[in-house]
Amino acid sequence: MKIRIKDNSVRYRLTQSEVKQFCETGKVAAKTRFPEGDLCYQLIQNNEIDDLSASFNSGSISLMVPTHLAKNWHQNEIVGFQHEMKLEDGATLSLLVEKDFVCLDNTIEDQSDNYPNPKLQA
């Protein structure tokens, strides 16, 4: 699972096996190790919410997806989910969860578990 954070936006990208795991177990998690501690990030299904939601506690980013959206995501053509989460101070946190497609340009990254890029399909 990849995470991209820019200003007030958080984006997760998941490989095919991660999307399947998320749909079947309700959760997928990853971490990046630093000398001072780990940055953890996870995607969790939640049947008590209607829109994407996020929290940050003790060095861990949790992004929640409504269960009704996550159901069968691994078996359909939906690329992802997006929501603008209102914060207490009036600011907005942009949330995006999407399937990770093979890059159009050359990269050294292992993309064997990424979704086929529709732009590369003949």
Q: Are 65 and 44 in contact (CB under 8 A)?
A: yes
At 54-111, the pLDDT tens digits run 999 999 999 999 999 998 999 988 889 999 999 999 999 999 999 886 655 666 666 6
Domain membership of residue 37 (yes or no) is yes
Domain membership of residue 107 (yes or no) is no
Range of the domain at 77: 2-100
Domain membership of residue 22 (yes or no) is yes
For residue 118, pLDDT over 70 is answered with no
Q: Are 64 and 52 in contact (CB under 8 A)?
A: yes
pTM of the model: 0.82
- The count of domains in the chain is 1
Residue 26 belongs to domain with CATH number: 3.30.1360
Domain membership of residue 55 (yes or no) is yes
